[in-house]
Amino acid sequence: MRGLGAPEASGVHLVFDRWSTVVGPALAARTRPLKIEGKRLVLAVDEPAIATHVKFLQAELLERLSELLGPDRVTAIDLRVGPKR
């Protein structure tokens, strides 16, 4: 699977388990990671205003993810707006 561009399972688990640490508790309450596709983190946000906020913070979030996972593991964030489950 790694040869097909799938992330290592440990990287996916780190992002999911430490999401609140990466984004802080306030943003973690409004967002959740869905999956990692290649080098893109797919993130659910609960409303368009939060999507705009995440876009504004994208460079900082990518830097934090790089610190957590290593360089170039996640290079972009894709957003999906919808109710939080």
Alpha-helix residue ranges (DSSP H) falling in 5-47: 9-17, 19-23, 25-28
Q: Which CATH fold topology does 2-81 show? A: GMP Synthetase; Chain A, domain 3 (3.30.300)
Sequence ranges of the domains in the chain: 2-81
> Tens of pLDDT along the chain (85 residues)?
444 444 454 567 888 999 999 999 999 999 999 999 999 999 999 999 999 999 999 999 999 999 999 999 999 999 999 875 5
Q: Does the CA dihedral 66-30-6-18 come out positive or negative? A: positive
The reported pTM is 0.82
Task: Give the model's pLDDT for residue 82.
Answer: 85
**CA separation for the pair 46, 24 (Å, rounded):** 16
Q: Is 13 left (phi over 0), alpha (psi -120 to 50) or beta?
A: alpha
